[in-house]
Chains A and B, each alone.
Chain A
């Protein structure tokens, strides 16, 4: 079983729509969680960390559900510039070999 699983999409949504992505992780001992954004043929960049209590950054909201072992990302009022692949990242423990990336969920926002 993969450490991190995501729905690869693609998600095609109109501008202004709200879209949500989920990501599940296999190891209940996982310690920290992140969402990265990767534009086409570019490097991944940190979008936001995911905290146990949930956190919001503008139009973006991240949630963590430890009981069900999933994290989510909600994007409100989608913009064309939100089109990208969103990578879920899970850290099982100390050491870079304990950091796992999902395959990414591709989002296209349509005018």
Chain B
């Protein structure tokens, strides 16, 4: 069974630019969550996608948006990048849809490390 894969692994952008990060969920998983992990911090929940719709959102501004595709893969888009957006962006898939209730079902990808200059 394939795990969660993310791309790109590293990227550098400048302030004001836009970025798209991609995630392929683990086989059999239909739900994708995105997290931001700043240096020295724990992962912060951005949002979750289930059945191609946003299903829960953390405390992130609207310039953070996403998509989920019929094959359950997902994209995270960040517009008008700011220096504080520099972080590791983690995608986690899970086999549950609505009613998700446990961290024990999350499988994380290796992340995309974004640097904003």
Contacts and interface: CB of A to CB of B under 8 A. Distances in A.
Interface of A: 4, 8, 31-32, 34, 36, 41-46, 49, 87, 89, 91, 93-104
A99 B110 contact: no
Given A42-B110, A43-B111, A44-B43, A95 B100 contact: yes
Interface residues of B, number: 26
Given A42-B110, A97-B56, A97-B57, A102 B103 contact: no
Given A97-B45, A101-B44, A46 B110 contact: no
A96 B45 contact: yes
A87 B37 CA distance: 12
Contacts of A94: 99-101
Interface of B: 33, 35, 40-45, 48, 55-58, 90, 99-104, 106, 108-111, 113
B94 to A, nearest CB: 8
Nearest to B42: A101
Contacts of B90: 43-44
- Ranked 4 nearest A-B pairs via Cβ: A101-B42, A43-B108, A97-B56, A96-B48
